Amino acid sequence: MKRKGILTSLLLAVGLLATAQTASPIYLDTSAPIESRIDDALSRMTLAEKVRLCHAQGKFYSNGVPRLGIPGLWSSDGPHGVRFEMLWSTWGHANWEIDSCTAFPSLTCLAATWNEDLAYQYGKGVGEEARYRNKQVMLGPGVNIYRTPLNGRNFEYMGEDPYLSSRMCVPYIKGVQSQGVASCVKHFCLNNQETNRTGVNVEVSERALREIYLPAFRAAVTEAGVWSIMGAYNKIRGTHACHNHYTLQEILKGEWGFDGAVLSDWDGAHNAREAAFNGLDIEMGTSSRPDKGISGRQFRFDDSYLGLDFQAGLQDGTYPMELVNDKARRVLRLIFRTAMNGRTTFGNQDFEAHSRIVRQIGNEGVVLLQNNKVGKSPLLPMDASQYESILIVGDNATRVLSHGGQSSELNPQHETSVLKAFKERYGSKVDYAQGYSINAQQAESLRAEAVEKARNASIIIYVGGLNKEEGQDCESRDRKDMGLPFGQNELLSALLDVNPRIITVLMSGNAIELPEVKRMPAILHAWYLGSDAGDIVADIVSGEACPSGKLPFSYPIRLSDCGAHSFGPEAYPGVNGTEVYKEDVLVGYRWFDTKKLQVLFPFGYGLSYTTFRISNVKLNGRTLTLNVENTGTCEGKEVVQVYVGDDEASVLRPMKELKHFKKVGLKPGESQQLSFDISDQDLQFYDEAARSWRVEPGTFTIYVGSSSRDIAAKVKLKV
């Protein structure tokens, strides 16, 4: 028997050698066309190997084909940097000492820059660090629409407008993928809340789906050529998004021609047959099979819905072979684009260079909401030489904000706090009082200490807002209300009572109710700014950087003013597991402007330390031209925004919709001429009856301004 086994092995080796000599492995040739490599690899694979490509083999690892030397895929959260290293099959940290990263600002901050060049640099920086850490798939960016200010994950997304989200996500994706790392755009689609996110069934009109919730995903596919997409947790019209035939097969892979791989969100697969037929390619994170009674430690990765049961169904004819071949083809394409793409670079973890990108994004993303005079002049920019003492108040002045938020958590190589940055710049002038805490029992004593110090302070910099604890800006649960948590309103009132010279810095990915807004002279919306947060705030406050951020969402006066909250619980958070998007296409400023509702701060809004004038607005055919001039005393940047409204629509349309924008940097007295071409795409709406896009004849109004409410000029276009 032993001699026979040796002989068999020798014969097998000779056979493999002959095969290798007669059919060289094209799939290993990185210079060959990818489709030829895929065909070759598929021809060599067994059915079991094809099936194993379709499900995870670890929390953040999916299979390759070891026998053929084809590596698997390592993925990582998140959109703001490369996450902590995790344990193989649980959510615990691996406790490495070499998994630090650059913490980039939140995607809301990136959106607030309205700067597409910065979006590319952001993505490229994330891609470089991902490549360095041997990650092939980065789980981001998130492009779900800001429908309610309660959504716990809004800070991971790019605001309420589909056009802005589209324009900002495309260069981000191109930047990541320039490094041979796949972007995985998420969460496809209609994942607009965290409350009941794994089960809520979203009912939405086809118009709202096409006009509001899909454009950024479409741009990611058709313009950026994204290599992977993650399905959402929620249901869409009764079927889970991770295996929804309409959205994945008909729209994503059919209409848009997506040739990449669809990943499930972790534990996002729920049905074997739907997963097989409806467009899911890689099942990630499954940890239970209720239909088989398998959960927790008893679970094996090949017990996934696309595991051994899928293989058995292929063998007995339940599933046609083209299903597994298509899935395997897409996964191989993803592997050949990333892990086997032939690039010579090993990535880049240049913290110094990436910090410069962080600083620029933060400096252009922080939004100056208010800058009223106290005495003869506004508080910002702050001339420190005019003040004997500077009091920093607030828990967020010292909190490391990159650690929270669940999947977006990061282990930054450094994170400079506001307090540290101001002490480094102004030394012994700076004092600190915590003021508030997430521990309610300390509220009174902390408040009393802060108020007492505020009485004698020359100027106060209050650093508050939200944080990334559960129930605030954090995955898995929405906010309970729009207010400031931890007694901050009471603290602000008490501080203002004893000292009006307060600069308020709000760290948040969401709008916040501000009952004391009329008494607050200076307000900065500072998002989550990543590794160099403190220096960014100090740059803006000191005037070293001139603020140029513009809000990517509206700031309502109260929650009940929002479209999603105007129709009762059926529209949010849902009744009996179903949620109806009754505001339809009127999301965000579309709702507020069309309904003529007052807002605290409108979409696209943001002040500067200088002033600008838009003039000479003309329309010649379909070409819009205008001048923008810096009429102030310091260099700065303005975002010129172009909106379009249909004056004679046969269907309900928003009063105006953002269709173009341009960020322009100008020195004092300098001007620049801009031009925009108004296309049919800028004028169209989705015709549900015809199931196609349509431009109706009639008159359109072109609005030009610096926010959705600050309109400098209007011109008419006849179609």
Q: Tell me whether strands 367-371 and 294-295 are parallel, antiparallel or unpaired.
A: unpaired
SS3 label, residue 575 = strand
| Residue pair 273/263 in contact by the 8 Å Cβ criterion | no
Residue with tokens 């931890």: 486
SS3 label, residue 182 = strand
d(CA 444, CA 204): 46
| Residue pair 678/702 in contact by the 8 Å Cβ criterion | yes
Sign, Cα dihedral of 558, 561, 564, 568: positive
| Residue pair 364/113 in contact by the 8 Å Cβ criterion | yes
| Residue pair 61/74 in contact by the 8 Å Cβ criterion | yes
Angle, to 10 degrees, between the axis of helix 162-177 and the axis of helix 215-222? 30
How many angstroms separate the Cα of 172 from the Cα of each of 23, 117, 127, 138, 164? 40, 9, 10, 12, 13
SS3 label, residue 179 = coil
d(CA 212, CA 564): 14
Q: Which of 452, 453, 416 is nearest to 529 (CA)?
A: 416
What token pair was written down for 530? Answer: 């990543």
What token pair was written down for 155? Answer: 């800070």
C-alpha dihedral over 498, 501, 507, 509, to 10 degrees? 100
The catalytic site residues sit at 265
Element (H, E) at 188: strand 182-188
Other beta carbons less than 10 A from residue 152's beta carbon: 26
d(CA 250, CA 233): 19
DSSP conformational letter for 196: T
Radius of gyration of the chain from Cα atoms? 27
d(CA 115, CA 171): 10
| Residue pair 642/658 in contact by the 8 Å Cβ criterion | yes
d(CA 189, CA 195): 16
List the alpha helices (DSSP H) in 338-390. 351-365
| Residue pair 521/480 in contact by the 8 Å Cβ criterion | no
Which residue type is seen at 581? Y
Residue 187, phi then psi, degrees to nearest 5: -110, 120
Listed in order, strand segments (DSSP E) in 548-588 are 555-556, 578-580
What token pair was written down for 422? Answer: 């101001």
SS3 label, residue 712 = strand
What token pair was written down for 682? Answer: 């800028």
SS3 label, residue 654 = coil
Mapped to the 3 state alphabet, what secondary structure does 452-491 carry?
Answer: HHHHHCCEEEEEEECCCCCCCCCCCCCCCCCCCCCCHHHH
Listed in order, strand segments (DSSP E) in 602-688 are 612-620, 623-630, 636-646, 657-666, 671-677, 685-687
Burial of 302 (0-12, 13-18, 19+ CB in 10 A): middle
